[in-house]
Amino acid sequence: MSGNYLAATDLNFKAEILDSDKVALVDFWATWCGPCMMLGPVIEELAGDYEGKAVIAKLNVDENPKIAAQYGIRSIPSLLLFKNGQLVDQMLGALPKNQIAKKIDEHIN
């Protein structure tokens, strides 16, 4: 089931991701990145699946260079997982949905 993901930005990153009381997944992406476009629908599905359980977000690196630089992003799509304001896990590339879900579950429990 597709859901609405959070559009993370340089401005709302602290409030919505770092200060969130839930585990947060952030997909660093851009429109010119083929694998990012493939991952898009997967992120939307995850947003539906984890509604109320985790924050599922996308961050456009073109529009939000600060956060991308802060986390040393040099390859996209990059998926970063945050818990209690800390970076707890990192994945690279357009991964299958169940692989991403497994990582999220690990940190929820």
By annotation, the residues acting in catalysis are: 33, 36
3 vs 35 by CB, closer to other proteins: 35
Q: Which of 8, 17, 25, 36 binds other proteins (CB under 8 A)?
A: 36
Strands 54-60 and 78-83: unpaired
Interaction pattern, residues 38-57, with other proteins; x per rule: CB under 8 A: x--x----------------
Secondary structure class of 6 (helix, strand, coil):
strand
Contact 76, 38 (CB under 8 A): no
Least CB distance to other proteins at residue 20 (A): 24
Q: Which of 75, 85, 102, 106 binds other proteins (CB under 8 A)?
A: 75
87 near other proteins, rule: CB under 8 A: no
96 near other proteins, rule: CB under 8 A: yes
Bond into 65 cis (ω within 30):
no
Alpha helices per DSSP H over 1-109 = 13, 34-49, 65-70, 97-108
